[in-house]
Structure 1
Amino acid sequence: MPLRPLGLGDVLGGAFTVFRRNARVLLLWSFLVTGVVGALAKVVSTLAQGGLQSRMFSSLDSAGSSSDAASIAAGTATAFVLLSVGLPFVAALFRGFLLAPVAVDTGQRVLGRRATFRGIWGLLAGRRWSVVAWVLLQAAAGVLLGGVFLVLFIGFVAGLAGSRASFGWFLLAAVVVALGGGVVSTWLATKFAFTIPTIALEGRGVFSAAAQSWRLTRGAFWRTFGIMLLVTAMFAFAVSIASFPLQVATVFVSGVFDPLGQTSGSSGPGVWSVVVVVLGALLVTAVQCVTDVLSGSVLTLLAIDRRIRTEGLDQRIAAHLDTGQPADPFAPAEALPVRPPQQPWGPQQPWGPQPPQWQQQQWAPPQWGGPR
C-alpha cells in the first residue's frame, strides 16, 4: 500500500491484494465466524418460508369464518417477516465480529507482514470484548430504532383509519416511514463505520472508538458513504448471481406450482428439494465469505486513509519501518493541526507616480589640503 492518501483504486486494489496474499487464513476466519451462521440462516429461512406459505393456504381453505382467516393470515405474515428480517439481521451482526480479524490482518499487510490465524487471535487480545460489546450495542440500537419507527407507523395507520382514508394514504405512510428509517440507519452506519477497525487497530474502548469513528468521518461523510455503497452494490450483485440456484430451489419448496398445498403442502418439501436448498445455501455462503472479507478490508483501508489525512499515519508507519519507532504505529495519536485558510489577495494599489525615496545630494568639489 502506498504511504500517502488513498484513492478509490488504491482502496479496492489493496483489499483484493490483502485477500489474495492471505486467503486461506481469512477464509477460515470468515467461515468460522459468519459462514456457519449464514448457511444455517439461509437453509432455515428458505425451508420455513416454504412451509409457512403452504400451511397458510391450506389453513385458509379450512378456515370457517373470515375472522379465523384474518388471524391465520396475520400470524403467517408476522412469522414470515421475522424469518425474512430477523435471520439476516443476526447474520449481519456476526459479520461485525468478522470485521475485527480482517482489520488486524489488513493492518499487518500495510506493515508488510503476513498474519497467521493464531497471530490474529493474539493481536486481538484485550480487544475482543470491546468488539462484542459494540456488536451487542449495535443490535440493541437496531431493535430500538426499529421499534421507534414501528410505533410511528402504527400511529400513522391508526390516524388514517380513524379518518377513513383511502389505501393510497396507508401506502404513502409506509413509504415515508420506511424511507425515514433507511435514511437514519444509513447515516448512523456511515458515521460509526470505523468503530470496529478502530478497536482492532488502536485498542480503544467502545465509546472512545465510536467517537474516533465520528471524528474520522467528519468532512468525509459522502466519500465514505459513496465508496461503501459502491462496494456493497458490487458484492450484492455477486451474491445474487450465486444465489440463483437457491432461488430456483425455493420455488419448488414453496410450492409455487401448487400454491394451495393440495399435493405437497401436507407432505412437506421433498428430499431432493432439501438437498438443492442446502447446496445452494453453501454456494451462497462461500461467495458471502469472500465478499465479507473484501468489505472488511475496504472499510479498514478507508479508516487508515482517514488517519493518514488527519493524523499523519503514513509518517509513523514509515518511521516504524525504518527505525522500529514507534513500536505500534496504529496506536492512538493526536490529530494534525488544521492549517489556517489562506488569506485572499487584497485589492491592488492603483498605478501612479511613486514618491521619491531619496533626495539627490548636491555635489561639491573636494577641498584639497588642510591645516598645516
Structure 2
Amino acid sequence: MIPLRPLGLGDVLSGAFTVFRRNARVLLLWSVLLSGVLGLLSTLVSTFGQQALQSRMMTAFDGNGGGDTIVAGSVTLWILLTIGLPFLAYLGRGFLVAPVAADTGQRVLGRRATFRGLWALLAGRRWPVVGWMFVQIGAGLVVGIVVVVVFVAFFAALGAGDASAGWFVLAVFLMVLGLGVVLTWLGIRFAFTVPTIALEGRPVFAAAAQSWRLTRGAFWRTFGILLLVQVMFGVAASIASAPLTIGAVLVGGVFDPLGQTDASSGIGGGALVLIVIGSLLAIAVQCITDVLSAAVVTFLTIDRRIRTEALDQRIASHLDTGQPADPFAPSAPVARPPWPQQQWAGQQQPWPGQQQPWPHHPPQQGQYRPPDGTA
C-alpha cells in the first residue's frame, strides 16, 4: 500500500486513491450515511428555511405588530441556517475519518475490511470520536460567544468615540482575519485526533495531545498538503458537478417549463425536483472527495508516526513475524535522524531494534567473481 519510509506528497496521494479504489463500495456506503445524508438534509432544510425566513421578514416589514419578536426569531433562524447546519455537516464528515482511517490501517497491513468489519474495528473507539465531536461543538460555542462579546464591545467603543465608517470596516476585517487564522491553526494542530482515536484507540484528550505532538515541527507541511488537497478536490468537484447541475436544470425545466411557482404556496414541484436532483448529484461528488480527504489525513498521521515513532519498523516486523500484534498501538517517540539525511539503503547506523546489515567486502585482486556479480 505504501513504502515503509517517510511519505512524500506523491505517496500520500497515491495511497489515498489506492485505498478508495480497492474498497470503494464499503467506503462510499460509510460516506453516504455520514456525509451524504447530513448534506442532503442540510440542503433541503436550508432551502425551505430560507423561504420561511424571507416570509417572516416580509411580515415584520408589513407593520402588523410584533415586529421585534419576528425579527429576533428571524435572526435566530438565520444563524441556525448559516452556521448550525453547515457545522453539523462538518461533524458528519469529521466522523467519517474514523472508518476511513480504520480501513486504511487494515490496507497497510494487507487486509480488506467489510462494512461490519470496520464497525467491529471501531468498537470502543466510536464514543471517543463522538466525544471529540462534542468537544468541537463546545469549543465552537465558546469561540462564538467570545467573538460576539468582542464585536459588541469593540463596536460600542467605536460608536462612543464617533469613529468613521472606515474604522468599522477595518475592525471587522481584522477580527474576521484573526478569527480565521486562529481557527486554521487549531484545525491543523488537532487534525490527527480522529485518525489517532481510530488507529491507536486513545481516549479523547490523549488523542488530541498526540495530534498536537505529531504536528509539532510539521505545521506548515501539514497545512500546505491539506490546503493543496482541498483545492485540488474542490476544483475537481466543481468540474464534475458542472454538467450534472446543468442536467438537473434541464430536468427541472421538464417538470416546470414555465417556472410557474406561486410564492404564497411555497416551492413548486419542478423547483423541488431541481433542488433534490442537484443536491444528490453534488453530494455524490462530495462523498468521493470526503473519503479521499479522510484517507489523506490518515496517511499524514501515519507519516508523522513513521518519522517520530519508527512505525515503519513495527509494521515490517508485524508483516514478517506477526509481532507486535497491533503495530498501530500507542508507542513512545523514537529519536531518528531527520529526513532526508536518513540512509534507507545500506545505512551505516541502524534504527533502534534493527539488525546490523551484513558488511559488504569487495573482492580482492585475483579473487574469482561470478559473472552475475553475486560475490
CA apart distance, 1:235: 2.3
- Deviation above 4 Å: which 4+ runs of structure 1? 70-75
Quick check: 2:196–2:210 contact (8 Å CA) kept in 1?
yes
TM-score scaled by structure 2? 0.81
Distance in structure 2 (CA, Å) of the matches to 1:108 and 1:211: 24
Letter in 2 for 1:35: G
Letter in 2 for 1:329: P
Distance in structure 2 (CA, Å) of the matches to 1:41 and 1:236: 19
Quick check: 1:30–1:289 contact (8 Å CA) kept in 2?
yes
Structure having greater relative contact order (Cα 8 Å, sep ≥ 6):
1
CA apart distance, 1:71: 7.3
Match of 2:63 in 1: 63
Structure 1 runs not aligned, ≥5 long: 253-262, 343-372
Match of 2:24 in 1: 23
Distance in structure 2 (CA, Å) of the matches to 1:72 and 1:166: 31
Letter in 2 for 1:140: G
Match of 1:44 in 2: 45
Distance in structure 1 (CA, Å) of the matches to 2:262 and 2:149: 39
Match of 2:109 in 1: 111
Distance in structure 1 (CA, Å) of the matches to 2:189 and 2:60: 47
| Paired positions, count | 327
% same residue? 63
1:86 and 2:84 matched? yes
Distance in structure 2 (CA, Å) of the matches to 1:223 and 1:109: 25
1:274 and 2:275 matched? no
Match of 2:179 in 1: 181
Structure 2 residue corresponding to 1:293, chosen from 291, 294, 298: 291
CA apart distance, 1:237: 2.9
Look up the SS of the partner of 1:160 in the other structure.
helix
Match of 2:8 in 1: 7
CA apart distance, 1:128: 1.1
Distance in structure 1 (CA, Å) of the matches to 2:157 and 2:70: 25
Look up the SS of the partner of 2:43 in the other structure.
helix
CA apart distance, 1:338: 5.3
| Larger of the two Rg values belongs to structure | 1
Distance in structure 2 (CA, Å) of the matches to 1:99 and 1:118: 16
Distance in structure 2 (CA, Å) of the matches to 1:73 and 1:87: 20
Match of 2:373 in 1: none
Match of 2:360 in 1: none
Distance in structure 1 (CA, Å) of the matches to 2:14 and 2:227: 17
Quick check: 2:49–2:77 contact (8 Å CA) kept in 1?
no
Mean alpha-carbon deviation: is it higher for 79-88 or for 98-107? Answer: 79-88
State how 1:217-256 maps to structure 2 within 5 Å.
Answer: 217-241=215-239, 242=241, 245=245
The 3 A distance-change label for structure 1 pair 209 and 24 is same
Structure 1 residue corresponding to 2:121, chosen from 120, 123, 127: 123
Structure 2 runs not aligned, ≥5 long: 253-260, 342-375
Structure 2 residue corresponding to 1:309, chosen from 303, 307, 310: 307
Match of 2:191 in 1: 193
Match of 2:139 in 1: 141
TM-score scaled by structure 1? 0.81
